[in-house]
Structure 1
Amino acid sequence: MKKGILTGLLLLTFSAFGQDAEKVIEKINTKLATVKDYTVNAHIDADIPMIKIMPSNAKIYFKQKDQVKIESKGITILPKQGFTELNNFLSDKSKYTAVFGDSLKIRDIDTRLINIIPNSSSGEIVLAKIWVDQKNSVIIRSQVTTQTNGTVKTDYKYGSQLSYGLPSELKFEIDVKKFKMPKSVAADINKTSTDKKNTKTKQRTKGNITITLTDYKVNSGLSDSIFKDKKKK
């Protein structure tokens, strides 16, 4: 009898935590939903083991719900996990269960961990964790494990577009062996790996990509025609 009561209490507690966590995510989604479209300039610095990638500049166009176009003359590496894919996933609450975790201070910001558990095992996202600034309803850090790109950790910083939930900087930590690189970059990595396979030097397996975002133009009324001829990312 006591065991049954205890189990029931645990289930009720789990359910309450889940409901509260989903309310926090709902506030994040509500804020992001105020952004109908935007354009922004991106400066991209990539620190990838075994290869040198020069800093590059890009212009990013976005329009609800998931239209994205990137214009760049150089090699552009934009991990979708912390940029658009996670937001799209969180916007459909039928796809996951959300449960609170521990509190954590990140860069002097009080955050709360929310574990995101997909309701289906067939999707791209296997597991996600987000650390949320509940005061401002924004994600400060995320850790997303996917079927094809391994685990990507992202730190978010905010500036003038905080009210829209749009970051001023994104810093990604990727698993180089699992992350899908542009074909030219992947070829160089494979070549370098082959050249050094007989050396005793231990190569780093993690890489960093930092994207600085400036000159946002939000809700300017972008035309759908902008996205018709998408360039390969």
Structure 2
Amino acid sequence: MDLQQERYSHLIMMKKTLLYLFLFLQLSGFCQVKNPDAILNSLKRKYIAVKDYTVDATIVVDVWFLNMPVKKAKLYYKYPDKIHVETKGFALLPKRTASFDPHAFIGKNYTAVFVRTEKLGNTIVDVVKTIPNDAGNDVILTTFWIDEKKMEIRKMEMNTKSGGTFQVEIEYNNLPFDLPQRLNVVFDMKDMNMPKNFNGEIPKPDKNAKAKEKGKGKVMITYANYKVNTGLSDKIFNEDK
């Protein structure tokens, strides 16, 4: 068995172990106070009215080896999973969190577990974990902090095979369809596959390079000028193919 197969087998075993643990918690009733599927389905129903949108995005990047100016982009989204980004030059914009899409965040075929109710800042949230039932899914585990009263995702942590761990804090400001105003994304630099071509030069390794590589990268995405349900053409998204 080569190294790649061994790593894949390890990930499959890890996902199965997590799945068995979740099933045990559900069957035992331990900490199972609320129905996690009901919470997630309510969240999906809330945003089912959003068929498409365009929005202006301001992107601020904090990565140790990139001297990148503030970038402007226009994002296009169409239900269920079409995304198109227009920007001049390279913009470090994680694909998984470039657009706000609870349906994609949650997925379709998963096992969900209610963990607890806790306080996040000044907001009471329900913590729900999901694990995809498909062993080939790149996502290993996702944790949601959900304001059930307003039915908003306040925070999300996604563990993936190819991109490490993403942590996303989401801010709202009474925008149309309760879409977010800002996403604050933190990710593991050591697990991030960076594009070969981008604006700015990678500095030569220094004595602190290894320590920095193990650090975190940050991206702040601020949205403005939402235009929702305008009937976007599929041609916009075919440009990415």
Taking structure 2 as the reference length, the TM-score comes to 0.80
1:65 to 1:200, Cα distance in 2 relative to 1, 3 A? closer
CA RMSD of aligned residues (A): 2.8
In the alignment, the residues of structure 2 paired with residue 225 and residue 127 of structure 1 have an alpha-carbon distance, to the nearest angstrom, of 33
Q: Match for 2:224: what amino acid?
A: T
Q: Distance in 1 between matches of 2:210 and 2:138?
A: 34
Give the paired residue count. Answer: 216
Kept in 2, the 8 Å contact 1:18–1:97? The answer is: no
Aligned residue type for 1:213: Y
SS in 1 for 2:45: helix
Are residues 1:144 and 2:158 paired? yes
Q: Write the letter of the residue equivalent to 2:48.
A: A
Q: Take 1:114 and 1:64, find their aligned partners in 2: how far apart are those partners?
A: 24
- Aligned partners of 1:103 and 1:112 also within 8 Å: yes
Q: 2:16 aligns to what?
A: none
Distance 1:26 1:223 in 2: 28
Shift of 1:184: 2.2
Structure 1 contact 102–113 (Cα < 8 Å) conserved: yes
The one-letter code of the counterpart of 1:27 is: S
Match of 2:68 among 31, 53, 67: 53
Map of 1:217 onto structure 2: 227
Q: Which amino acid aligns with 2:65?
A: M
| 1:76 pairs with 2:85 | no
The aligned counterpart of 2:79 is 64
The 3-state SS of whatever aligns with 1:78 is coil
Query: Under a length normalisation based on structure 1, what TM-score does the superposition of the two structures give?
Result: 0.82
Distance apart, 1:56 and its partner CA:
0.2
Correspondence for 1:88: 104
Question: Residue type matched to 2:223 in 1?
Answer: L
How far apart, CA to CA, are the structure 2 residues paired with 1:103 and 1:219?
Answer: 34
**Structure 1 partner of 2:126:** 112
Q: Deviations over 1:6-64 (max 9, x none)?
A: xx9972526x9397111000011111211001000000000001221111000011111
Is the contact made by 1:31 and 1:165 (CA closer than 8 Å) also made in structure 2?
no
Output one character per residue of 1:57-84: Cα deviation in whole Å (capped at 9) or x when no partner: 0001111111111110132222233346
